[in-house]
A and B are shown apart, each in its own frame.
Chain A
Amino acid sequence: MIVNWFRYSSPVSFYPLAGRLSRAFGVLAAGFTIAGLYIGLVVAPTDATQGDAYRIIFLHVPTAWMAMLIYLAMAFWSALALGFNTRLSAMMAQALAPTGALMAALALWSGAFWGRPTWGTYWAWDARMTSTLILLFLYLGVIALRSAIDDPRRADRACALLSLVGAVNVPIIYFSVQWWNTLHQGSSISFTSAPKMAMTMVEGLLVMTAGVWSYCIAVTLARVRSIIVERERGSGWVASLIARQGAR
């Protein structure tokens, strides 16, 4: 089956598709998150060394992964927006930034509340934490830059450039625990070795990751729909959309 992807590069045809996908991923997010929380907070055994404090992992690791992944996705859509000058790519990049910022903030927040009982401190200027804080600032910078430029097309290009330049920070975060001597521990799960924890814990982590990932997709698509209406409101199809369905 051949899918004409270019059809969906136009906001008109993407708008209804985004709505259907957003609802589907919203349902998935609810299901996976409830299951993941149940596994992580109830089923998984108490850790021998960290006690129940380790349960923060089921929130911390998925949000930290998503903070990095969303940044890469934002840089990808920014590259497309710069290269092909496509409106929808820029709108996708715009829609990803707030959720990326939220994930970075939650990763830092939950990390602080995990660090206190295990390392004895909420914060340290360790390579992994500092580079993750820079990731949060990059997200906030992209959002602030957009709101500072009135012309949306100029804002698209400026934000795309900042996003692409900032992408260099993502591998720095990822490899920071190998490159430097950090207070932060190494990877709990990697592609090259067996997981360093009990199987139930890995399951809980993967299910929670699926939940957080689905949530991010659902809210990003919901946000891009609003952005499409905001930015295309002069067009005929938005006018007929409003006439057809009203505000909700």
Chain B
Amino acid sequence: MSGFFAMGGYAWYVWMSYGAAAVAVIVEILALRLRRRHAFDTARMAQDADAAGPATRPLADLRSNG
């Protein structure tokens, strides 16, 4: 098993290559999850803003801004 990880003396090169690919895949999949969640959250907020009605929304904004 240690022979497998040693890669005949080329462990640094082989595992830096495959390790980077593994990290990249994990990061890409996590980024996709975040993007999906963000897309839905933004869409829901926009929808709620519409549901509140065009008349009440600017007033509410005015009030919160003083």
Contact = CB atoms under 8 A, between A and B. Distances in A.
Interface of A: 37, 41-42, 46, 51-53, 55-56, 59-60, 63, 98-99, 102, 105-106, 109-110, 113-114, 116-117, 215, 219, 222-223, 225-227, 229-230, 233-234, 238-239, 242, 246-248
Contacts of B28: 98-99, 102, 219
A218 B45 CA distance: 28
B59 interface: no
B32 A229 contact: no
Nearest to A229: B39
Interface residues of B, number: 29
Given A59-B21, A233-B46, A242-B47, A222 B36 contact: yes
5 A-B pairs with least C-beta separation: A52-B8, A233-B43, A110-B17, A53-B10, A229-B39
A43 to B, nearest CB: 12
A229 B17 contact: no
Query: Is chain A's interface secondary structure helix, strand, loop, or mixed overall?
Result: helix
A53 B13 contact: yes
Contacts of B13: 53, 56, 113-114, 116-117
Given A56-B14, A223-B32, A234 B46 contact: yes
A27 B31 CA distance: 19
A41 B12 CA distance: 14
Nearest to A235: B43
A110 B35 CA distance: 28
19 contacts: A42-B4, A51-B9, A56-B17, A56-B18, A59-B17, A59-B18, A60-B17, A106-B21, A110-B17, A110-B20, A113-B13, A113-B14, A113-B17, A117-B10, A223-B32, A229-B36, A229-B40, A242-B44, A246-B40
A226 B20 contact: no
Contacts of B60: none
A42 B17 CA distance: 16
A59 to B, nearest CB: 5
Interface in B3-51: 4, 7-10, 12-14, 16-18, 20-21, 24-25, 28-29, 32, 35-37, 39-44, 46-47
Contacts of B4: 41-42
B16 to A, nearest CB: 5
Nearest to B17: A110
Given A53-B14, A229-B36, 10 more contacts: A51-B10, A52-B7, A56-B18, A59-B18, A113-B12, A113-B14, A226-B36, A230-B39, A239-B43, A242-B47
Contacts of B17: 56, 59-60, 109-110, 113-114
A99 B31 CA distance: 12
Given A219-B28, A219-B29, A239-B47, A55 B40 contact: no
Given A106-B20, A110-B20, A242-B47, A247 B9 contact: no
